[in-house]
Amino acid sequence: MFLTRAVLGLRRLQQWLVAQAAFGILNILKLFPADAAIDFADRAARWVGPKLSRHRLMLTNLRNAYPEKAEAELQEIALSSWGHMGRLAAEYVFLDRLFDFDPERPTRGRIEVSGIPIFLDLRDNPRPFIVFTAHTGSFELLPVAGKSFGLDVMVLFRPPNNPYIANKVFEFRSARMGQLVPSHAGSSFALARRLESGEGVGVLVDQKFGRGLTTTFFGRPVRTNPLLAKLVRQFDAEVYPARCIRLPGNRYRLEIEPKVDVPRNAAGNVDVQATAQLLNDKVESWVREHPEQWLWYHDRWAIKKTLRD
């Protein structure tokens, strides 16, 4: 018993130290102008990333996804992807300052928005809907944009494993992104209640899900969470793709696309399997357009154990 408590205490101490180091770095970044901090984070991540064990996974993912590309091009995509991860961390500090979209002057700030009529229609004509996105660009800006348009969306998110970082992230997100639901065993019920009341939810759909449906992504088998498709089937919710694209000069384009035609079977019911594949196909099209802006270090294809072996 004593040994167990000691091990748990040591683990908590390690998590606390990691969290304090992370908070310290972010607090230092706050002292600088946004552009300088984001550019520095990009350079730092390009230097550190290739030295980490995850770099091997990243390159394996890229080689599997793009067998036709030369090794030099894959190395460049990997390096750029590390840079974008550095940017993502720095952007987190400056979210309040980065989102400067003004409908009266839509081309003046850092942010441009595509699909404004869809935002306004969802706000002004309430009904159950689901907005899905992926880990592309500065994806954290999307719920910030929704809240700025008065679009009240409940967002499902996966908290970090470190509880000290998770608490801080939750506090930060809650103040800027509306209602949040941490991903856990009961989260699907919260989303269901939201849709049942005729409102909207937002989900990330490109995460590994061990108990998911067998689908393909970049032509390779992956497991995909069936939650979105099941919610659509239950509540006849409309489904909208949305993404963020980083532009040169630390600018961003936020896009919400027209609703998708959800696949149905011969009886007219939502085809859960085909809908899960549709999500993968949409995310793959985004990633192919801007491969450096996706987080390739994710173990989306569940191959990390193979690499260790």
Which residue ranges make up each domain of the chain? 2-94+303-308, 107-293
Task: Write down the pLDDT at residue 188.
Answer: 79
pLDDT at 149: 80
Task: Please give the Cα distance from 240 to 207 (Å, whole number).
Answer: 18
- Please provide the average confidence, as pLDDT, over all residues in the chain: 84
For the chain, what is the total number of helices (H) and then of strands (E)?
12, 9
Question: DSSP alpha helices (H): ranges in 94-220?
Answer: 95-98, 116-124, 141-148, 163-177, 187-196
pTM: 0.87
Q: Which residue type is seen at 274?
A: A
Q: Please report, rounded to a whole number, the percentage of residues in the chain having pLDDT higher than 70.
A: 79
Residues 48-88 have pLDDT tens digits of 999 998 999 999 999 999 999 999 999 999 999 999 999 98
Chain segment 108-130, per-residue pLDDT in tens? 778 889 998 998 899 899 899 99
The token pair that represents 178 in the structure block: 């509306």
Residues contacting residue 77 through CB under 8 Å, at least 6 positions apart: 62, 66, 69, 291, 292, 296
